[in-house]
Amino acid sequence: MSFASKLPDVGITIFTVMSKLAADHRAINLSQGFPDFEAPAELIEQVSHYMRRGLNQYAPMQGVPALRQRIAEKIKAIYGAEIDPDAQITITSGATEALYAAITAVVRSGDEVIVLEPAYDSYAPAIQLSGGRPVYVPLAFPGYRVDWDRLRAALSARTRLIILNSPHNPTGTVLAPADAAVLQEIAAERDIYILSDEVYEHIIFDGRPHQSMLRYPELARKSFVVSSFGKTYHTTGWKIGYCVAPPQLTVEFQKIHQFLTFTSNTPIQLAYADFMRHTDHYLHLAEFYQRKRDLFLDLMKGSRFKPLPCAGTYFQMMDYADITAEADVDFARRLTTQYGVAAIPPSVFYHDRQDHRVLRFCFAKQDQTLRQAAEKLCRI
């Protein structure tokens, strides 16, 4: 039986492709964004504790109450926003589920959604499955800043949603207060929603404050804000995220969520609720990863790669134009198979495959891993 694919242009994600290539060739995997070091031992023990206590059945659809309360307390402490944990917070099975549920909740057939490129690869498929149309606005290379004049020009009467990602994957750029000011003007002018992907909210360098939509009441009342425990607690494989939105948007969000996953892992939620009491972990996370960024950059000084600015996330973009004129996909494959280091080619995050001859390297790795990778890269 033949059928027409709903996503005819979508294949296996580049993260799966490059991680498999790295495994097949025993290369150092600096492609997919996950740490090669352990999660906090106390957090692991707390998960086991709740499993042994028999708390292994369904959590409430919205998420464990204690965890939602901790999230609300953290938001108040960091961003100064009063959030109702019962009416505004939903625990999800990873940030990707939250992104899909938010897009599906508000995007209808014929709606347009502003997508800033390079863009995380789950945005456009979710828009298309909802009957919407992605309207792509490129970030200005090489600084990857938002071109607000270009974004304004892309808005139309059909624009339903703007998707933002800060700190930004794959580029490592972050929104500045001036960006938030322009966005407030746009939101005030139009009946429009915002989906803010903030999964790297605690990984911002050089003392910059995170420009969360939750800092700005006029933006918060129109926004879905998505975050991730996996990025904060080195537990990407546990796949627990959350979405914060005003009550009326949360109602629509949960209508979708309940038929996607219904609920998420109970003992892990309970363990996160306990561990969030240790606020020093996420308050010092930026310092932890800034040291790794600086180590990686120092180790790469002897290479022919040229770093682009990295203000957040745990990814470093590197210009390789002095090495080869190869397309980034081809060079990423050769780098893995011939030199033993895997990276991500950012052209795959553009709908038209723009290629600036840069690669994305993940530095969320043990120092020894970074030293071994840099040694190989410096030989090229």
At 117-127, the pLDDT tens digits run: 999 999 999 99
**What is the percent of the chain with per-residue pLDDT over 70, rounded to a whole number?**
100
- For residues 347 and 344, give the distance between their C-alpha atoms in angstroms, rounded to a whole number: 9
Q: Say which CATH architecture domain 14-32+284-377 belongs to.
A: Alpha-Beta Complex (3.90)
Is the pLDDT assigned to residue 179 strictly greater than 80?
Answer: yes
Please write the tens of the pLDDT for every residue from 152-167.
999 999 999 999 999 9
Please write the tens of the pLDDT for every residue from 32-86.
999 999 999 999 999 999 999 999 999 999 999 999 999 999 999 999 999 999 9
Residues 320, 295, 164, 237: is their CA dihedral positive or negative?
A: positive
What secondary structure does DSSP assign to 230-272, as a single string? Answer: HHHTT-GGG--EEEE--HHHHHHHHHHHHHHTSS--HHHHHHH
Q: At 136, which amino acid appears?
A: Y
Domain boundaries 42-278, CATH class: alpha beta
Answer for the pair 195, 63: CB distance below 8 angstroms, yes or no.
no
Is residue 5 helix, strand or coil?
Answer: coil
- For residues 116 and 164, give the distance between their C-alpha atoms in angstroms, rounded to a whole number: 7
Please write the tens of the pLDDT for every residue from 201-240.
999 999 999 999 999 999 999 999 999 999 999 999 999 9
Asked whether this chain's domains 14-32+284-377 and 42-278 adopt the same fold, the reply is: no
- For residues 183 and 338, give the distance between their C-alpha atoms in angstroms, rounded to a whole number: 45
Please write the tens of the pLDDT for every residue from 280-321.
999 999 999 999 999 999 999 999 999 999 999 999 999 999
Neighbours of 319 (CB within 10 A): 16
Determine the average pLDDT of the residues in 350-363. 97
Q: pLDDT band at 11, cuts 50/70/90?
A: confident
**What is the percent of the chain with per-residue pLDDT over 90, rounded to a whole number?**
95
In this structure, what DSSP letter does residue 274 have?
Answer: H
Give residue limits of the domains in the chain: 14-32+284-377, 42-278
Is the pLDDT assigned to residue 115 strictly greater than 90?
Answer: yes
Judged on CB neighbours under 10 Å (0-12, 13-18, 19+), 40 is middle
11 against 246, higher pLDDT: 246
- Side-chain-side CA neighbours of 70 within 13 Å: the count stands at 19
Is the pLDDT assigned to residue 12 strictly greater than 90?
Answer: no
To the question of pTM greater than 0.85 for the whole model, the response is yes
pLDDT of residue 1: 77
